[in-house]
Amino acid sequence: MKKGVYLDNNATTPLRCEVIAALQKGLTAFGNPSSVYAVGQEARFALDEARRQVADMCNVRSEQVVFTSGGTESNNMALRGAAGQGAIVTVLTEHPSVLKTALHLKEQGQNVVCLHVDNNGLFSLDVLEELLRDDHVKLVSTMWVNNETGVVNPLADIAALCKRYEVLLHVDAVQAAGKMKIDFPEMGADMLSLSAHKLGGPKGVGALILRNEVTMDPLLTGGSQEKNRRAGTENLMGIIGMGAAAKVCQTSLETETAKYQACKEALEQGLVALPFDIKIVGQYAPRVDSTTCFITSGLDAEAAVMALDMEGFAVSRGSACSSGRSEPSHVLTAMGYSESESKTALRVSFGWQTEVEDVKDFVQAFTRVAERMLKKSA
């Protein structure tokens, strides 16, 4: 039995060694970055350096980076900043921080359209274009990589449509950062959300990347921090950690994505060879290599997660935001899976620390767990 193999990196990631070192060094920068004396300016220097590191990862200027408390706040800023100016278009498989925010705005009178997806988790670009052609849409908000399935949306095509009809595009890149190259000017987005703890950084900090021409009312008002776009004394330690994580992600992207590909091949080849009825979710759609969601007929996923934990492997039923609840995944049901199928789904997601041998060991552990559980339920 192997202990301590963490395979739920879409929920959160362990701190990278470089991040820990940066946080330890940053502990002495205790001043308020808005203060003009030496201690404050030391903190300001650390803040500016981290901002440059995040900006470099996204190929933008430092002033385009707005630090937030995480991906949820970044997504809320993007959607609520566009509210009341025209319709908002999003997708039924979005993260709850987008989908629930959009539906809350709809309850307040905002015109919101939620696009349906096919059984691969992709929405129709023709339907999107039909909506944009009507000239009443202000914002399209979609994720780059789905947090539950790893399905990758065709951002270039989506951005081209938004540009053609002069509609703002917000991209939730929380699950893409660190796994795909981010070139914000090239991708054609107007806003992009990031979260540090999905990069090997600390929790409680994220960023919203803005095209220079984009303006919006801030969610938080008060001081003039973040160029009047997000009031409140900056979470300096979190920001230092995010900057360090962004720097590592930029330099290690090629080697880590190659490792993810090897891990994915080992996992999925191992799964489909098992004598169980297993389906890879989104198998025929473009997917990021770090995520595999699979359905095993007759398996109780919640019980399987606990059994696998006893075997020493941490995996998820789906999104961490819905863990501990017995409701089916809204992503899987939107893709056409039944509630009973959804409740058999497991998600395995790799991180910077994952090795191929970990994945092979997981397949063996899953085999033991599935054999016991399916035999008992037969």
Closest-CA residue to 175 (of 315, 296, 64, 12): 12
User: pLDDT value at position 1?
Assistant: 46
**Together in a domain, 165 and 233:** yes
Domain boundary (249, 280, 300) is at 249
Q: Are 81 and 90 in contact (CB under 8 A)?
A: no
**Together in a domain, 244 and 98:** yes
**Together in a domain, 237 and 290:** no
**Together in a domain, 198 and 300:** no
In eight-state DSSP terms, residue 296 is E
Closest-CA residue to 162 (of 88, 52, 94, 96): 88
**Together in a domain, 75 and 92:** yes
Q: Is the pLDDT of residue 321 over 80?
A: no
Domain boundary (229, 249, 269) is at 249
Q: Is the pLDDT of residue 3 over 70?
A: no
Q: In what order do the strands lie in the sheet with 345-349?
A: 278-280, 291-296, 345-349
**Together in a domain, 280 and 353:** yes
Number of Cβ within 10 Å of residue 272's Cβ equals 13
Q: Is 312 exposed, middle or buried (0-12, 13-18, 19+ CB in 10 A)?
A: middle
Give the integer Cα–Cα distance in Å for 99 and 338: 20
Give the integer Cα–Cα distance in Å for 319 and 325: 11
Give the integer Cα–Cα distance in Å for 147 and 156: 19
pLDDT tens-place string over residues 277-315? 999 999 999 999 999 999 999 999 999 999 999 999 999
DSSP string, 186-223: HHT-SEEEEEGGGTTS-SS-EEEEE-TT-----SS-SS
Q: Is the pLDDT of residue 93 over 80?
A: yes
Average pLDDT value for residue range 173-192: 97
User: pLDDT value at position 319?
Assistant: 55
**Together in a domain, 218 and 273:** no
How far is residue 357 CA from its own chain's centroid?
25
Structural domain range at position 345: 5-13+253-377
**Residue 85 or residue 100, greater confidence:** 100
User: pLDDT value at position 85?
Assistant: 84
Domain boundary (186, 214, 249) is at 249
Average pLDDT value for residue range 77-88: 91
pLDDT tens-place string over residues 245-260? 999 999 999 999 999 9
Percent of the chain with pLDDT over 70: 96
Q: Is 321 a catalytic residue?
A: yes
Average pLDDT value for residue range 101-109: 95
Tokens of 212: 């220079």
Cα–Cα distances in Å, from 74 out to 174, 194, 206, 358? Answer: 10, 7, 7, 33
Q: Is the pLDDT of residue 59 over 90?
A: yes
Q: Are 275 and 297 in contact (CB under 8 A)?
A: no
Q: How many domains does the chain have?
A: 2
Tokens of 65: 């980076």
Which run of H or E residues covers position 89? strand 87-91
Q: Which CATH number characterizes residue 34's domain?
A: 3.40.640.10
Catalytic residue among 17, 162, 263, 321: 321
Interacting residues of 207 by C-beta distance below 8 A, sequence separation 6+: 54, 65, 66, 67, 68, 74, 193, 194, 242
Q: Is the pLDDT of residue 129 over 50?
A: yes
**Together in a domain, 142 and 275:** no
**Together in a domain, 91 and 121:** yes
Structure pTM? 0.95
Tokens of 11: 């929920």
**Together in a domain, 191 and 312:** no
User: pLDDT value at position 375?
Assistant: 84
**Together in a domain, 315 and 207:** no
**Together in a domain, 72 and 134:** yes
How far is residue 323 CA from its own chain's centroid?
16
Q: Which CATH number characterizes residue 310's domain?
A: 3.90.1150.10
Interacting residues of 139 by C-beta distance below 8 A, sequence separation 6+: 78, 79, 82, 85, 86, 87, 88, 89, 167, 168, 169, 170
